[in-house]
Structure 1
Amino acid sequence: MKDIQEFFSTISEPDHRKRLEELFEWTMKTYPQFSVVIKWNQPMFTDHGTFIISYSPSKKHLSIAPETVTIATFKKDIEKSDYAHTDNIIKITWDQPIDFTLLKNIIDYNVQEKIDYTKFWRE
């Protein structure tokens, strides 16, 4: 996979594709300093070369991956928003609204926590 448009073209469900496109647009508008890189056939948002967050579709939900430490930090807020989660991803069903305040808090946390970070992933 070479670019974000190729990624979007792999999403067969039109409503899921539209929702992801809108989420990507919101992220780029809110964080214009971010770059999108494709790794492991997955688009990921980076800031100064370090991973911040990624979004991907599955059959039943939208997956949000901000790294395990971030999920642990925001666990109560994630559960308060009625989202399922694992240690690695937040699962937002296709019929649930996106809590953009929570998402912004998660992204802002990663940006601040990794401001001087030079590696892609946390260790």
Structure 2
Amino acid sequence: MDVFDEFTSRIENPSNRERMEEVLRWVAVQFPNLGTKIAWNQPMFTDHDTFIIGFSVAKQHMSVAPERAAIARFSDEIVRVGYDHTDQLFRMKWNLPVDYDLLGRIIAFNIEDKADCTTFWRK
């Protein structure tokens, strides 16, 4: 997880930094076969060099970007747990709990759905 240290060290709010570190650690532990990298100034997890999920930080929330197909698949659940979303990402407000079950299912969906993908992003 050292690859994310520089990114997380720039998060000014200590509790937000801890939350981001916790989420990144959780993903790494739950999905140990995923690669890690920083691209477009955000931590990302990849599988066979294809994008699986990325994270970014804003003042009020952590953004989670699993691509459009995953947002479409899990839209109702994302809203039901209290997060809002666009067609490319969803936002977890810092004061809301992380729904790790939902996050894990989104990641697992992307791994399975992109198993034969030969590009970084879905076409």
TM-score (norm 1): 0.95
- Residue identity over aligned pairs, in percent, reads 45
AA aligned to 1:83 is: Y
Letter in 1 for 2:33: Q
Gaps in structure 1 of 5+ consecutive residues: none
> Cα deviations across residues 36-74 of structure 1 (Å, max 9, x unaligned)?
111112111001110000111100001000001110111
Q: CA deviation at 1:90?
A: 0.6
Task: Give me the whole-angstrom Cα distance separating, in 2, the residues matched to 1:42 and 1:61.
Answer: 14
Q: What is the CA RMSD across the aligned residues, in angstroms?
A: 1.2
Matched, 1:41 2:51: no
Q: Does 1:116 find its partner at 2:116? A: yes
Residue by residue, what CA displacement relative to the aligned partner does 1:77-107 show, whole Å, maximum 9, x if unpaired?
Answer: 1111111111111111100001111111100
What is the count of residue pairs matched by the alignment?
Answer: 122
Unaligned runs of 5+ in 2: none
Tell me which residue corresponds to 1:23: 23
- Report the counterpart of residue 84 of structure 2 in structure 1: 84
2:55 maps to which residue? 55
Superposed structure 1 runs of 4+ greater than 6 Å apart: none
With normalisation by structure 2, the TM-score equals 0.95
User: 1-side partners of 2:108 and 2:4: how far apart?
Assistant: 23
Corresponding residue number in structure 1 for 2:107? 107
Q: What displacement does 1:118 show?
A: 1.3
- AA aligned opposite 2:46: T
Alpha-carbon distance between aligned partners in 1 of 2:8 and 2:76, rounded to the nearest angstrom: 31
